């Protein structure tokens, strides 16, 4: 789920940045500190949207920097367990595929794709069902359910996905299932 979060922090401005516009310096410092990181509570930080900086800073002994309180907004992505997401297959491996979910990649393990036996075709870089002949390749859009979320502070996190439920899977497969459901017997 994408969110806009308001955060308060204290940002240091080094002496080399004195004389530059305070707002610009603080936003650049916030961007380098927050953007592209993962926080357990905030999720993946995509963007520092805006900042309101206290123009009066304070000094610390033996430190030439000034420190300013600021309130700023972050655009984040925090995946939630059991959330249904739409993503694109970005990599196929022998153990499953990686699906781009928002700004992160989630693992759709081979055992979680369908009830069919899935085999990996290395030559064509695809996963294929033995009975159904359904194929999954890079670039395919899939609807999946998040089953596991493990985010730790820093720049890494893990998302586990499944498509072994009704109305989940490659979008083409979902349309086929809808057609079967409305066809007269």
Domain with CATH 3.30.1490.120 in the chain: 2-77
Query: The tokens of 99 are what?
Result: 């699906």
pLDDT digits (tens, 9 = 90+) for 16-54: 999 999 999 999 999 999 999 988 888 899 999 999 999
Q: How far apart are CA 58 and CA 180, in angstroms?
A: 69
**Pairing verdict, β 157-162 and 104-109:** parallel
CA distance 120 to 105: 20
| Domain 2-77 coded CATH 3.40.50.300 | no
Whether residue 65 contacts residue 104, with contact meaning beta carbons closer than 8 Å, is answered with: no
**pTM over cut 0.85:** no
Q: Model confidence over 82-124: pLDDT tens digits?
A: 999 999 999 999 999 999 998 999 999 999 999 999 999 999 9
CATH T-level assignment (fold) for domain 84-182:
OB fold (Dihydrolipoamide Acetyltransferase, E2P) (2.40.50)
């Amino acid at each position: 789920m994408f969110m806009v979060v308001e955060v308060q922090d204290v940002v240091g401005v080094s002496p080399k940045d004195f004389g530059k516009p305070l707002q610009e310096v603080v936003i650049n410092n916030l961007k380098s500190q927050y953007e592209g990181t993962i926080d357990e509570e905030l999720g993946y930080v995509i963007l520092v949207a805006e900042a309101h900086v206290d123009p009066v800073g304070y000094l610390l002994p033996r430190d030439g920097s000034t420190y300013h309180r600021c309130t700023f907004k972050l655009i984040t992505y925090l995946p939630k367990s059991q959330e249904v997401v739409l993503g694109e297959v970005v990599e196929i491996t022998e153990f499953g595929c990686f699906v781009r979910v928002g700004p992160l990649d989630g693992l759709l393990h081979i055992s979680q794709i369908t009830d069919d036996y899935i085999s990996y075709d290395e030559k064509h870089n695809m996963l294929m069902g033995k009975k159904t002949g359904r194929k999954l390749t890079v670039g395919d859009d899939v609807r999946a359910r998040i089953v596991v979320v493990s985010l730790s502070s820093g720049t890494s996190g893990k998302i586990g996905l499944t498509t072994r439920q009704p109305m989940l899977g490659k979008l083409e497969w979902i349309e086929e299932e809808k057609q079967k459901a409305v066809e007269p017997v």
